[in-house]
């Protein structure tokens, strides 16, 4: 049976750039002095140099109701999603749309019914018979989860392609009405972006292989991470105990997954870890005994654009290919955390574009 390959990954950032200093400046006018000072301290602590938004900040800050936020989200999500998906399918025709049998679309930052993929099928030239699998409630882990699903869908005799599309526009959820500390973190950590990947069931040596996949839901943790839907929009649920939970439970989970594939953590040559935030990354490093070098691509992606929710792992993978491409055949682990608390993992084998080919 052929091992699925990630034959192409494309990423896209929206046009409006916001530096750390500009973030503080824009938000200060909407907050009492004490809250504005707290925002400034949090901005400095995040290490995020700049973020990107789908609309000018002045327009975003005027959005108040769920309807206003979602009405703004829909056209922006359609356009950014179409742009990145078109690039992933390739203007040169080497990933023809007619070869795509399934599209898995993920977004947790807005609501569309019909889902985003239905709006894009015609523009992308995909068949009306393309199977559509929209995912909305996996949060930051949805990018890895969607890739795992793509690999499993390709585990069948007929050659096929799966297009994975992630569009996350977190800026439409900015909360300025009596913001809690958690709201502040959400306002300052998250950014807008999109990514698309083509996963193939035909081995051609063009990209990293998805050797194995795993998903796990930690018991008794549903109150640790998630979202609440309020009259003013989504509000982040983030327990202060989450970093400790990850630090104490992650290593066993990783060792069990790798062990089933006759691999140990010492065999992993590169890491693609979703950066939920600085404390989450520190917890992952402590739990898995990782060095700064192991997480360099993750930290550099985080500092350049912030938390892009489910799209982040694709940005990290491309950054890794540009800066420190792993040798062909090297094993890597991609992982992300989502509401639940859940953990999604992929065991990768480097090759093709990821290794500089």
Domain extents in the chain: 5-200, 209-351
Residue 158 has what pLDDT?
65
Tell me what pLDDT residue 308 has.
94
pLDDT reading at 21 higher than 90? no
Task: Please indicate whether residue 140 is annotated as part of the active site.
Answer: yes
Average pLDDT over residues 340-353: 94
- Residues 209-351, CATH architecture: 3-Layer(aba) Sandwich (3.40)
pLDDT classification of 16: cutoffs 50, 70, 90: very high
Q: If DSSP codes are grouped into helix, strand and coil, which group holds residue 134?
A: strand
5-200: CATH topology is Peroxisomal Thiolase; Chain A, domain 1 (3.40.47)
DSSP designation for 3: P
Residue 79: helix, strand or coil by DSSP?
helix
Mean of pLDDT values over 297-309: 94
Over the stretch 39-54, which tens digit does the pLDDT of each residue have? 777 778 888 999 999 9
Q: Per mean pLDDT, which range of 293-297, 299-303, 337-341 is the poorest?
A: 337-341
Residues 198, 325 contacting (CB under 8 angstroms): no
Exactly one of 76, 108, 140, 343 is catalytic; name it. Answer: 140
pTM: 0.93
Rounded to whole angstroms, the Cα distance separating 210 from 348 reads: 5
Please indicate whether residue 45 or residue 120 has the higher confidence score (pLDDT): 120
Between 195 and 97, residue with greater pLDDT? 195
Arithmetic mean of pLDDT, 206-233? 87
Average pLDDT over the chain, rounded to an integer = 89
Indicate whether 185 pLDDT > 50. Answer: yes
Q: Tell me, what's the pLDDT at 92?
A: 47
Cis peptide before 114 (omega within 30 of 0): yes
Domain 209-351 in the same topology as domain 5-200 = yes
pLDDT surpasses 70 at 348: yes
Rounded to 10 deg, the angle between the 20-28 and 33-46 helix axes is 170
């Amino acid at each position: 049976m052929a091992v699925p390959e990630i034959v192409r990954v494309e990423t896209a950032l929206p046009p409006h750039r916001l530096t750390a200093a500009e973030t503080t400046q824009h938000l200060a006018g909407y907050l009492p002095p004490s809250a504005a000072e707290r925002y400034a301290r949090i901005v400095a602590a995040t290490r995020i140099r700049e973020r990107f938004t789908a609309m000018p900040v002045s327009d975003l800050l005027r959005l108040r109701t769920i309807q206003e936020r979602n009405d703004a989200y829909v056209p922006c999500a359609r356009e950014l999603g179409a742009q990145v998906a078109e690039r992933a399918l390739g203007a040169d025709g080497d990933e023809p749309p007619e070869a795509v049998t399934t599209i898995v679309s993920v977004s947790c930052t807005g609501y569309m019914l019909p889902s985003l993929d239905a709006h894009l099928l015609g523009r992308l030239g995909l068949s009306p018979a393309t199977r559509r699998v929209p995912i909305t409630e996996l949060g930051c882990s949805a990018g890895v989860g969607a890739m795992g699903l793509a690999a499993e869908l390709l585990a069948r005799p007929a050659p096929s392609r799966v297009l994975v599309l992630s569009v996350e526009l977190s800026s439409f959820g900015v909360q300025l009405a009596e913001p809690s500390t958690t709201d502040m973190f959400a306002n300052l950590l998250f950014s807008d972006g999109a990514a698309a990947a083509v996963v193939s069931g035909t081995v051609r040596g063009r990209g990293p292989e998805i050797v194995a996949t795993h998903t796990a839901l930690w018991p008794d943790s549903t109150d640790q991470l998630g979202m609440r839907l309020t009259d003013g929009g989504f509000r982040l649920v983030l327990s202060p105990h989450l970093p400790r939970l990850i630090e104490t439970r992650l290593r066993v989970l990783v060792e069990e997954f790798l062990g089933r594939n006759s691999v140990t953590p010492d065999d992993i040559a590169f890491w693609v870890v979703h950066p939920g935030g600085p404390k989450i990354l520190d917890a992952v490093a402590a739990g898995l005994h990782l060095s700064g070098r192991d997480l360099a691509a993750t930290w550099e992606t985080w500092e350049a654009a912030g938390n892009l929710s489910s799209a982040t792992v694709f940005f990290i993978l491309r950054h890794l290919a540009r800066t420190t491409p792993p040798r062909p055949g090297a094993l890597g682990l991609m992982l992300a955390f989502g509401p639940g608390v859940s953990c999604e993992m992929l065991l990768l084998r480097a090759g093709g574009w990821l290794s500089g080919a």
